[in-house]
A = this chain, B = another copy of it.
């Protein structure tokens, strides 16, 4: 009797144990295989990269685990404006800043610099200003402008120094040059409210930036800012506004593009370690078919006159309010063999709307990359197409927070894109408008706030490599070779300074 019981117990235990070990192995296999799907998991770290990774993951886990235990202090569940300066004190942020991050493939030319920089431009000579009730007009001119001003045109210098308090005056100016406000949750209470302020910025700054000498200086300094943020190459989107000079001459879009090319050449002479820039012509989408046909003609001229500088075509502006891409489908299809397309698409929360379905148009029009693609996570078939056709997604997390698509970045669809290993590139859209670094903030928020706690240096490296791979830079081997050299140096420095 006893022996029977003992045997019975033993058998039960063995059975149970075996089943439990099977369970554990099933559990671990699932988790492991899933991590193999994650972007970057195909990379194999060298020994020194592994050492740097240990440093980085220790810092990352420390930040995350503190937040997990103290969600009231976790930055990324708050609005970007609340933590943008604080996170600069993070060691990990500094490492990400020092990291070679490859290329910026989605950024708008007149939104790279922050409000301090723009204010500094208002110190240039011959600038006139007209204060409106809720905005500001500028014009460079030798004489008082004839353009309409409901108050009065003043020389900026006079306005500033007669104000009695230059500091206060400049602080007042700054508010026109940024989206940053004290209480974004309250004051940007819907998407149109923040887009409206966004438009105001472009309206206010356009006659400032379109002054040809400023235009060139801005671009030169923007390139410098990218380079300082360890970016090698840039594809810049521009509506290509018409520039003017102090004599009142106005130039066409080609001149605008050519002035960029001229600045770029100068910059490359001054900084030969930079790999250059290309132009994506991206005019406004809220136009009629005829205007799009004109855009296409301009694009043809650009391509012909600046074949090495012109990268392709896009349409910009708030998708929900602008016309959907489908309205121009025939025109865009007719010339799709002529241009690389980099369409904005799916920068919306409206599932099943016309702006949501810009995604399908970008795909069937053979876009090389899609700008934002925020809504793609709700489109399982389009997502498969994106994989099949190897269309890169230009994701701009912070922009999507500021422009009210998502609040807590942990709900950004980027997490899903990364988990599935989609061809993502991280970019910054309009970093100057929210006072972010040209690229570091977006990389850091992606790495710590959005990606899995398990995502490591391989993800960071892959994101940088993707930005090179999916760029239009011709000599990819050269680009990647140079990246590898800088990467090795970065890894070395991380180990030296932190390990």
Contact = CB atoms under 8 A, between A and B. Distances in A.
A415 interface: yes
Given A190-B77, A333-B20, A363-B30, A68 B353 contact: yes
Contacts of A419: 378-380
Interface string A441-475: 00000000011111100000000000000000000
B353 A33 contact: no
B30 A349 contact: no
B334 A411 contact: no
A415 to B, nearest CB: 5
Interface in A330-353: 330, 333-334, 349-353
Contacts of A308: none
Q: How large is the interface on A (under 10, 10 to 19, 20 to 34, 35 or more residues)?
A: 35 or more
A287 interface: no
A31 interface: yes
A26 interface: yes
A364 B30 contact: yes
Nearest to A31: B360
A352 B455 contact: yes
Contacts of A365: 23
A87 interface: no
A193 B365 CA distance: 48
A217 interface: no
Given A27-B326, A68-B320, A380-B419, 6 more contacts: A30-B360, A34-B381, A71-B190, A72-B192, A377-B415, A377-B416
Interface string A352-380: 11001100110111000000000001111
Nearest to A357: B31
A23 B454 CA distance: 41
Task: Specify the main secondary structure of chain A where it touches its partner.
Answer: helix
Interface stretch (A96-104, A115-123, A402-410): A402-410
Nearest to A28: B360
20 contacts: A19-B333, A20-B330, A23-B333, A24-B329, A30-B364, A30-B382, A30-B385, A34-B381, A34-B382, A71-B192, A71-B320, A72-B189, A72-B190, A74-B190, A77-B349, A350-B410, A350-B453, A351-B415, A353-B453, A380-B419
A16 interface: yes
A454 to B, nearest CB: 5
Contacts of A333: 19-20, 23
Nearest to A77: B190
